[in-house]
Amino acid sequence: MSPRASLTRIVRRNGWVIGLCALLGVLLIVTKIIQPNYGAAGFGSLVRAALPFAFAAAAQALVVIVGGVDLSIASMMALTSVTAATLMEGSSEEFAILVVLLVLLMGLVLGAINGALIVITRVPDIVVTLAMLFVWEGAALLVLQAPGGAAAQWLKALIVGTVDVAWLPREVSTWIPKGLVLLVVALGVVWIPLRRSRLGLSMYAVGSDPLAAFRSGVAIGRTKIVAYALAGLFAAMGGLVLTMSTGIGAPIPGPYLLASVAAVVLGGVTLGGGKGGLVGPIVAVLILRLVRTDLTFLAIDPNVTTIIEGTIMVFVVMLGGLVALRSHPR
Amino acid sequence: MTSDLLLEATGVVKHYGAVAALRDASLSVRPGEVHALLGANGAGKSTLVKILTGVVRPDAGRILVRGQARAVHSPAEARRTGLVSVYQEPALIPDLDVAANLRLTETPVEPFMAWVAKLGVPTLDLFELARNLPLAVLRILDLARALAIEPDVLLLDEMTAALPADLAERGLDVVARQRETGRSVIFISHRLLEISALCDRATVLRDGETVGTVTMAPGAEEQIVALMLGAPAEEPLEAEPQRVRESARSAEETPRLRVRRLRAGTKLDNVSFELRVGEVLGLVALEGQGQDELFGVLSGSRRPSGGTIEVDGREVHFRHPADAIRAGLVYVPDDRAEALLMQRPVRENIALPQCARPSAWGPIDMRADKERVDRAIDRLQIDTRAQGEVQRLSGGNQQKVTIARWIAGGVGTLLCFDPTRGIDIRTKREIYHLLRELAAAGSAVLLYTSELEEVQLACDRAIVIFGGRVVDDMSAQIADEPALVRAAYGLPRAASGEAAGGTATGSEAPA
């Protein structure tokens, strides 16, 4: 195949993500117009605010790709966050490394429990994860009654400031907040090898057509459990980020569940499963956060803000559908 | 004896709840043979296939592969023991490209591509999403993928059902040549002609039991039909006796449906024909000659780009299937899932087109509804033991429901798109009978069929579409398979006396 044809294909396959990036670019320009002194610092705080949402969206995206849904993501984030904060309170900086590993493992286990319950009991995913939403929330309250705990200094520093790379000019590196690097590394370490493995293919296969996947020799149950477990891992990363940014743990789940579903939908992951990736939802998170920032700059009533956010979502998804319809006449 | 069998299943039993799907099934396949597996719908063929390929587990019975007992628990495991199946529905993952699909099943690419070429698909883009490929190509890819693994036993379930004639021929040829390498094929099909041409032996199932294995020889078809029906075969492939051919009379009247220079999409290009009251008109075409577009336009689900449609002499413009239904044009698709609410009861499925009529507001008249539905069920002899959910009926009974839902309300024109695909012979005959009866009662039927013998079994007249145009119009008497095939490939009609008689009947040649 000619390089030109394969380039066209890359553009066509990733059209949605490219479109989202363009939208983000436009929004950044709009922001600059509304607020002329918006710059690297503003972008940095945008990323920091978006971090927990980004991890929640990545977790949700994984589950949606296999054709499921996980309503317990925000609760898992709360549980892992309070666990980390409690364990780190009054302990040494080195011990915190152990805590991080332990909490990540905990996330894997929580997610695997979700997945295993769905696969073994055959109760619909939406019911199981709704039930687990309450279970994990209760567990979080058992760990910590009220917001409290602490976080290691080095952890907190991980998402503050920008990276200093010797070979990069200062003007560029101020635009690379540490939080963004953390996000890319944490998700990339899991996602990139996964995407290239047979397991990753199996995840898309199960979401796309479970019967055909079964007939192709895919172990459906195992694939689903792995997807939920990895979603748990990402949720634990989100929980850790929460503790990093606030320095404490809060047992009541934040607004991450619905936000994750919104980002997944806007990010081009079809709710039926089998389509999309992680980049789309994360760009979508940034877009949704930036819209909110802009509306704040414009001093618009916060109650109206949510109406506008909802409208944007419907409008963008509809527009995408129209574009897809145009390029694939049937 | 046992040792030289490649695959042997004996005494296989499977119950689903109280229903026995298989009571005592057996099958033995020798190395290097093409073995047909036959049976009416509901006889247990698909259950046996599922057991052989590890999709479901049997309650009892023994399965030997090369003389060794095997318990197969999943399709992946079946593949490792050398048993690969090609199913009726495409098995490629729609959202993955072809290359990723191959990686998923760990299929070697080179032999796969070689088989694809051999099967008659010259160019294939490995990076195209399976979703974007036409159905016929997907079927070929499924077959090529199975062949590339070089299985000892290849299970083919209705392989030719969705293939156009030329690809089907190639596929059958490739299957026949599997013999030379000592591999075996289990071939499931409803097309007896195919089976007698291709297979060495045939095993027949009836009501969950193996009732016999026939060695294919001239005359074996009769034997097979007899075994399948369980009673002496009474003229198995005879045309409907009470056929009425009074086209001379109805030619005077306004036709029920007149299509003039109809165009749609890129495929349908200038089609004209008439459908008269009391007529069953056959429509024959190779895959993708515009028949899908034609039925789409006539049933109101897509808009034509040119031409006119007249119903009872009045020009109509459909914007929505509801418009077509109001004009008395109703559509029976080949894919039953397209027409039925699979999770709802038989009763609701039949009643829906009536109570969902655009003009009907207010509460449903339950009593009238029930009477209509009961009449339809009775008339079609639908087996309603599993009527709670349509999806639990057998394929043949589901197809009957798709027709019954329209009959219940009394219908002007039935547009049937390959309604007998994948249905057993007995049900097929019931459907032909029903179509004739409807026509006799004053309806008109347009019947697209991919099984050419249906034209003479059920129709008065046949039109042939090739390249988006009507290329021939012949009476059923002369529309035998060779004549239809010639026309469908765009060849001129063989010069003979009979041909002249045909043109006289089909007076409306394309303008």
Same structural domain, B185 and B302: no
Average pLDDT over residues A243-266: 91
The answer as to whether A294 is a domain residue is no
Same structural domain, B392 and B351: yes
Q: Closest residue of A to B125, CA-based?
A: A1
> How confident is the model at residue B185, as a pLDDT?
93
A213 touches B at CB < 8 Å: yes
Q: Say whether B94 and A209 touch across the interface (CB within 8 A).
A: yes
Chain B CB contacts of A218 below 8 Å:
76, 104
Query: What is the gyration radius of the CA atoms in chain B, in angstroms?
Result: 24
Distance from CA of A205 to the nearest CA of B (A): 6
Q: Say whether B127 and A6 touch across the interface (CB within 8 A).
A: yes
> How confident is the model at residue A1, as a pLDDT?
52
A198 touches B at CB < 8 Å: yes
Average pLDDT over residues A128-149: 95
Chain B CB contacts of A8 below 8 Å:
none
Last residue of a domain, one of B378, B410, B442: B410
C-beta of residue B155 within 8 angstroms of C-beta of residue B45: no
Q: Identify from B49, B72, B74, B96 which residue to disrupt to test chain A contact, counting A C-beta atoms within 10 A and taking the largest count.
A: B96
CATH number at residue B210: 3.40.50.300
Same structural domain, B95 and B153: yes
Query: Residue B4 to residues A187, B1, B34, B63, B66: CA-CA distances in angstroms?
Result: 55, 6, 15, 14, 7
Same structural domain, B46 and B120: yes
Distance from CA of A8 to the nearest CA of B (A): 12
C-beta of residue B36 within 8 angstroms of C-beta of residue B199: yes
A10 touches B at CB < 8 Å: no
Q: Which pTM value belongs to this model? A: 0.73
d(CA A65, CA A75): 21
Of residues B361 and A189, more confidence is placed in A189
The answer as to whether B333 is a domain residue is no
Task: Give the number of beta-carbon pairs within 8 Å between A and B.
Answer: 65
Q: Say whether B74 and A216 touch across the interface (CB within 8 A).
A: no
d(CA A128, CA A121): 9
Same structural domain, B253 and B171: no
**Residues, chain A:** 330
- Going by C-alpha positions, the residue among B396, B427, B405, B416 that lies closest to residue B281 is B416
The one-digit pLDDT tens for each residue of chain B (511 residues) are 445 888 999 999 998 766 678 899 999 999 999 999 987 666 788 888 888 888 888 999 888 888 888 778 888 888 888 888 888 777 899 889 999 999 998 889 999 999 999 888 878 888 888 888 888 889 899 999 999 988 899 999 878 766 777 888 888 889 888 888 889 999 987 677 788 888 999 998 888 889 889 898 887 877 887 787 665 444 444 454 444 444 444 456 788 899 999 988 777 888 999 999 889 999 988 767 888 889 999 988 888 988 999 998 889 998 888 888 888 888 888 877 777 887 787 777 777 776 555 555 666 677 777 787 787 777 777 766 666 677 777 777 788 888 877 876 667 788 999 888 777 778 888 888 888 888 888 889 999 987 778 888 889 999 999 878 898 899 888 888 778 877 876 777 755 444 433 343 333 444 3
- Going by C-alpha positions, the residue among A7, A10, A53, A12 that lies closest to residue A286 is A53
Same structural domain, B313 and B397: no
Provide the total of helices (H) and of strands (E) in chain A, helices listed first.
Answer: 15, 0
> How confident is the model at residue A274, as a pLDDT?
86
Query: Residue A154 to residues A88, A99, A229, A245, B204: CA-CA distances in angstroms?
Result: 12, 13, 27, 12, 74
Answer whether residue A149 shows pLDDT above 80: yes
- Going by C-alpha positions, the residue among B85, B60, B45 that lies closest to residue B205 is B45
Helix (H, G, I), strand (E, B) or coil at B177: helix
The answer as to whether A16 is a domain residue is no
Q: Identify from A216, A218, A271 which residue to disrupt to test chain B contact, counting B C-beta atoms within 10 A and taking the largest count.
A: A216
Distance from CA of A200 to the nearest CA of B (A): 9
A214-232: pLDDT as tens digits: 888 888 999 999 999 999 9
Chain B CB contacts of A65 below 8 Å:
none
Phi, psi of B148 (to 5 degrees): -65, -25
Chain A CB contacts of B146 below 8 Å:
none
Same structural domain, B156 and B104: yes
Same structural domain, B343 and B259: no
Q: Closest residue of A to B105, CA-based?
A: A216
- Which residues are paired to B85 by β-bridges? B155
The answer as to whether B501 is a domain residue is yes
Same structural domain, B115 and B184: yes
The answer as to whether A4 is a domain residue is no
Provide the total of helices (H) and of strands (E) in chain B, helices listed first.
Answer: 19, 20
Q: Is B179 exposed, middle or buried (0-12, 13-18, 19+ CB in 10 A)?
A: middle
The answer as to whether A308 is a domain residue is no
C-beta of residue A129 within 8 angstroms of C-beta of residue A119: no
The answer as to whether A252 is a domain residue is yes
Chain B CB contacts of A209 below 8 Å:
93-95
Kindly report the CA angle at B51 between B48 and B52, in degrees rounded to 5?
A: 85
At B311, the amino acid letter reads V
The answer as to whether B454 is a domain residue is yes
Answer whether residue A7 shows pLDDT above 60: yes
A98-136: pLDDT as tens digits: 999 999 999 999 999 999 999 999 999 999 999 999 999
DSSP-H helix ranges across B17-108: 45-52, 75-80, 98-104
The answer as to whether A178 is a domain residue is yes
B182-235: pLDDT as tens digits: 899 999 876 777 888 889 999 988 888 898 898 988 878 778 877 876 654 444
Phi, psi of B71 (to 5 degrees): -110, 115
Helix (H, G, I), strand (E, B) or coil at A235: helix
Exposure string of B349-366, with b = 16+ CB inside 10 Å and e = fewer, is bbbebbbeeeeeeeeeee
The answer as to whether A27 is a domain residue is no
Phi, psi of B332 (to 5 degrees): -115, 105
Chain A CB contacts of B113 below 8 Å:
none
Work out the percent of chain A whose per-residue pLDDT is above 70.
97
Distance from CA of A14 to the nearest CA of B (A): 13
C-beta of residue A107 within 8 angstroms of C-beta of residue A233: yes
Residue A291, both tokens: 């819209």
B78-94: pLDDT as tens digits: 888 888 888 877 789 98
Query: Residue A95 to residues A92, A108, A155, B283: CA-CA distances in angstroms?
Result: 5, 20, 12, 78
A196 touches B at CB < 8 Å: no
Same structural domain, B162 and B14: yes
CA atoms within 13 A on the CB side of A324: 13
Cβ atoms within 10 Å, residue B12: 25
Helical packing angle, A40-65 and A198-208, nearest 10°: 70
**Structural domain harbouring B380:** 338-410
Domain count, chain A: 1
Nearest to A205 among B79, B89, B93 (CB): B93
Q: Identify from B50, B86, B95, B123 which residue to disrupt to test chain A contact, counting A C-beta atoms within 10 A and taking the largest count.
A: B95
Same structural domain, B343 and B452: no
d(CA B127, CA B103): 12
C-beta of residue B283 within 8 angstroms of C-beta of residue B447: yes
C-beta of residue B184 within 8 angstroms of C-beta of residue B196: no
d(CA B271, CA B297): 12
**Structural domain harbouring A187:** 47-256
Q: Say whether A201 and B100 touch across the interface (CB within 8 A).
A: yes
Domain count, chain B: 3
Q: Say whether B104 and A198 touch across the interface (CB within 8 A).
A: yes
- Going by C-alpha positions, the residue among A53, A62, A51 that lies closest to residue A230 is A62
Specify the DSSP class assigned to residue B418: S
Kindly report the CA angle at A272 between A260 and B103, in degrees rounded to 5?
A: 105
Last residue of a domain, one of B229, B255, B276: B229
DSSP-H helix ranges across B243-389: 247-252, 291-298, 321-326, 336-339, 346-355, 366-380
Chain B CB contacts of A328 below 8 Å:
132
Q: Say whether B76 and A217 touch across the interface (CB within 8 A).
A: yes
- Going by C-alpha positions, the residue among A256, A259, A245 that lies closest to residue A291 is A259
Q: Say whether A214 and B75 touch across the interface (CB within 8 A).
A: yes
Chain B CB contacts of A216 below 8 Å:
75, 91, 93, 101, 104-105
Chain A CB contacts of B79 below 8 Å:
217
N-to-C CA span, chain B: 66
Same structural domain, B399 and B446: no
Contacts of B375 (CB under 8 A, 6+ apart): B408
Last residue of a domain, one of B192, B208, B229: B229
Residue that the structure tokens 């639990």 belong to: B392
Helix (H, G, I), strand (E, B) or coil at B278: coil
Distance from CA of A219 to the nearest CA of B (A): 9
Distance from CA of B91 to the nearest CA of A (A): 5
Answer whether residue A48 shows pLDDT above 50: yes
Chain A CB contacts of B104 below 8 Å:
198, 201-202, 205, 213, 216-218
Least confident piece of the model among A172-186, A286-300, B332-346: B332-346
